[in-house]
Each structure stands twice: as structure tokens, then as C-alpha cells.
A and B are shown apart, each in its own frame.
Chain A
Amino acid sequence: MNAISARYPTLLPWVLRLIVGGAFVLAGGLKIANPAKFALDVSNYRLVPHELINLVAILIPWVEVTAGCFVLAGIWLRAAALVITGLTVMFLFVIGSALARGLNIECGCFGTIGGKHVGLVNLAIDLTLLSLAVLLTWRSADGSRKAVTPEAAEVCVREKAGERSGGLY
């Protein structure tokens, strides 16, 4: 990965953003298009109290789309990637628990496109997305440090030096 990022320093973050952001905008958008179907999918997992199923089915897809859009647009990139990381961890837990309980239900992962029953493939997709989201969180943190202007860097160095001297005396 380091060799690739060294060779294509600007391309890799773009590709990461496109894959991770695009996947979440697509997944959320498909769920938003058919909220009743997604509510049924949520209900089938039998993890959410009955009264809260609609609320979960309404909110989760929009948080997915919002975070995905932020990642695609490169705004608050690290934070949006962190939100996507959190969502993916939650999805992994939900899918894993369904598999552990032997539930033979639709995944609901990509709306009607993901009409396949929940299985190891979904876990593999989510694990891939998770690793990309973690990489994006890390890369964007790294990138933000590199992206500062020389003037800003100088100010930063001075502030740090001031902090150190304040700490010493």
C-alpha cells in the first residue's frame, strides 16, 4: 500500500473516497427509496424493539447517505470516514449475530439489489468496506497534516515550541 501511495500520492485517497463514499450513498439511497421494505429487513433481524423499527429504518439510510456525501465531497473527511467506520462495525455485528443465530433472512444491505440472503459474502463485503474506511480515516488524518500551508506549518511549529517552553518554565 505504501508503494502505491508513494507512486500515486493523490490518486489513492480519491479512489478510497469514491469506493467508500459511493458504496454508502448507493446503499443508503436504495434503502431510502423503499423504507417499508428496509423496515421489514430491520425487523427480521429481531434486534430492535418493535416500536423503534421504523425510526431505525428511517434514520440509518440518511446517516449513510450524509456520511457518504461528505466523504465524496471531501468535507470533514476524517469525521465522515469515522462515522462510516462506526456504521460498518455496527453492520458487521448485526450480520454476524444473524449468522450466529442461523437466521435465513434478506440482508437488506443494499436495498433490493442486496435481496440475497444474509451470508458470509455480506460479512466479507463489510469487512472490506471497514478496512477501506479505517484506511480512509487514517489517510485523511495524514493528508490533513500534509495539506497545511508552509505559513500555517510555521505557526504550528511556533505554537508547539511555545507549549514546550511553557511546560518547561
Chain B
Amino acid sequence: MNAWLRSTLPQALGVVLLGVAAGLAGNRLSPRGLPLMAPPKPVRPVELFISLEQAKQMWSGGAALFLDAREPADYAAGHIGNALNLPAQSFAQHFGAIAPLLTPETELVLYCDGVECELSHRLQASLREGGYTNTHLLLNGWTVWRQAGLPTTPGGKK
């Protein structure tokens, strides 16, 4: 085993290092090359988001449709009461089921989970492309809604 390791591991490391060198060189020479470090995420202005209080009023008045941008499994595990699931990462696949409920004027509140979550932003972009521009984002929506003790549909129910 020791002999095996002694002979094979350095060569395996050599293969990996050669691949890394080729990758760095290829990326530098390619017109499609990427910056080595991804640029920092854009800081979202606070005014892009609605407050929890605003969201609560919209929910209570039935003025807006709440859309959960997370994956179906996350949605199934629990979501804001009456919210529908429109996963941002498979928008095209799921939009057909939601579309009949929407008009371009429909007020929409989009949310996902976590302050870093990009899904509601992606969903907003997809909806805007389709002409649905009356959208609001609730930052860290699932967590803040649940922690405030507002109505939710727990896991197992849809």
C-alpha cells in the first residue's frame, strides 16, 4: 500500500496540477474567460423591499398574492399562509400553473428565506420579463413571517 501511494499519489497530484495550470491558462486566453473571483453580490437598496408590517397588511386585506420562490420541497415543509409556490429555479416549468391567476396588474409579494437568498430576486426578474411588474419583495420572508407568529401553512399541508 505504501509503495502504491508513493508511486500513484504524486502522479495524481501532477495530473490535478496540470489541469489547474491548463484551466488558468485557458481561462486567461479564452474570450469567454471569467474573473477568477466572482464579483461581490450587488448590495440591494433597502427600498427594494417592503416591511413585514406592509406585507402583513397586504396579506390581511387580500390585496396581494404571495409567491414563494423557494424549491417545492422547502415550500412543502412550510410556507406563508395562502402563498403559492413558483420556484425561481424552475420558473418556466411551474409558471403555467400560476399564470391563470395573474394579470399584469396583480399585486405580488415574493419571498424566499435568508437575507442572502437570491431566489425572490430571480423570480422578480422572470416575472418582469413576462410583464408582471407589480411585484414587492419581502426580505428573508419565510423566517421573519414565521418568527412574527403570522399565519403559516405548516409542513405536510398545501
Residues of A within 8 A of B (CB): 32-36, 39, 44, 50-55, 57-59, 61-67, 70, 76, 78-80, 82-83, 86, 101-105, 117, 141
27 pairs across A/B with beta carbons < 8 Å? A32-B30, A36-B34, A44-B89, A50-B38, A52-B37, A53-B38, A55-B37, A57-B34, A59-B23, A61-B23, A62-B26, A63-B19, A63-B20, A66-B18, A67-B16, A67-B19, A79-B10, A82-B8, A83-B15, A102-B72, A103-B73, A104-B87, A104-B90, A104-B93, A105-B89, A117-B90, A141-B4
B101 vs chain A, min Cβ distance (A)? 21
Please provide the 9 A-B residue pairs with the shortest distance between their CB atoms, ordered closest to farther: A102-B73, A62-B23, A63-B19, A79-B11, A66-B19, A79-B12, A59-B23, A76-B11, A54-B34
Residue from B20, B30, B72, B93 with most neighbouring chain A CB atoms (10 Å)? B20
Interface contact A34-B32, CB-CB below 8 Å: yes
Residue B131 interfacial (CB < 8 Å) = no
CA distance A90 to B60 in the complex (A): 47
Distance, CA A59 to CA B25, complexed state (A): 10
Q: Is the CB–CB distance between A103 and B15 below 8 Å? A: no
CB of B38 within 8 A of CB of A51, answer: yes
Determine the main DSSP class of B at the interface with A: helix
**Hey, which bits of chain B sit against chain A, CB under 8 A?**
4, 8-12, 14-16, 18-20, 22-24, 26-27, 30, 32-38, 40-41, 71-74, 87, 89-90, 93
Number of inter-chain CB pairs below 8 Å: 105
- Considering only CB atoms, which chain B residue lies closest to A98 in the complex? B71
**Smallest beta-carbon distance A67→chain B, Å:** 5
Which residue of A is nearest B22, CB measured? A62
B35 interface neighbour in A32, A44, A54, A70, Cβ under 8 Å: A54
Residues in B neighbouring A51, C-beta threshold 8 A: 37-38, 40
- Mostly helix, strand, loop or mixed at chain A's interface? helix
How many Å from the CB of B39 to the closest CB on chain A?
A: 9
Is A103 a contact partner of B23 (Cβ separation < 8 A)? no
Contact with B12, one of A54, A82, A104 (Cβ below 8 angstroms): A82
Cβ of A79 and Cβ of B73 under 8 Å apart? no
Cα(A73)–Cα(B18), bound, Å: 15
Across-interface contacts of A66 in B (CB, < 8 A): 15-16, 18-19, 22
Chain B neighbourhood of A101, CB < 8 A: 71, 73
Q: How far is the CA of A100 from the CA of B22 in the complex (A)?
A: 34
Cβ B41 vs Cβ A58 within 8 A: no
Q: How far is the CA of A103 from the CA of B34 in the complex (A)?
A: 26
Q: How far does the Cβ of A107 sit from chain B's closest Cβ, in whole Å?
A: 12
